Structure 1
Amino acid sequence: MQATNAVLGFMNMGWPEITIVIVIFILLFGAKKLPELARGVGKSIKEFKKATSNIEDEVRSAIEEEPQNTAPKQVTQKENTSSENKA
């Protein structure tokens, strides 16, 4: 139960906590590296959204094409053979 509260408490961060996290990042990575890290994260997010968009487009086009490709199948009856007529 305490672990759940800790996780939920982490999600409800206020401005003081966010400021502390930013200061820790500046101390760990340095002020010069943070813009580079932010650019890298931004490019990664952009690439992820692009890939997600491409997959969604492929799925939509596959769904739209599916009804056009399927035609109703005709059922034909098999003719009776001479052995079936004798029985």
Structure 2
Amino acid sequence: MFGIGMSELLIIFVFALIFIGPKKLPELAKNLGKGLREFQKAKDDLMNHVNDAARHEEKVEHVAQDKPAPEAPSQNKSDEDNKGHS
């Protein structure tokens, strides 16, 4: 977990117990858990939004490839004159 071994985790817990105190430690852990949960939810929402946008973009590109390209209008004036006289 985060590149931290069991011994490092135990040392961190002991320091937290000393500096924060045994009464505040459960409340701190609860708030930390809530914060991590909210962060995870926000990350998941962002990933879902990005994936939805990517899927929508793929659909738009697929539809654009299926439609034939419209013919470009003739820019040569003599072509238009020849069509009218034929």
Short-chain TM bin = 0.5 to 0.7
Structure 2 unmatched ranges of 5 or more: 82-86
RMSD of the TM alignment (CA)? 2.5
Seen in structure 2, the aligned counterparts of structure 1 residues 42 and 75 have a Cα distance that, compared at 3 Å, is same
Task: Report deviation, 1:69.
Answer: 2.2
Q: Which residue of 1 aligns with 2:77?
A: 81
Q: Report the TM-score, using the length of structure 1 for normalisation.
A: 0.64
SS in 1 for 2:22: coil
Seen in structure 2, the aligned counterparts of structure 1 residues 19 and 78 have a Cα distance that, compared at 3 Å, is closer
Task: Report deviation, 1:27.
Answer: 1.7
* Runs of 4+ displaced beyond 6 Å: none
2: distance between equivalents of 1:36 and 1:78?
72
SS in 1 for 2:17: helix
Residues 43-52 or 18-27, more deviating: 18-27
SS in 1 for 2:33: helix
Task: Report deviation, 1:14.
Answer: 5.7
Q: 1:34 aligns with which of 25, 28, 52?
A: 25
Q: 2:54 aligns with which of 45, 63, 66?
A: 63
Task: Report deviation, 1:68.
Answer: 2.1
Structure 1 unmatched ranges of 5 or more: 1-10
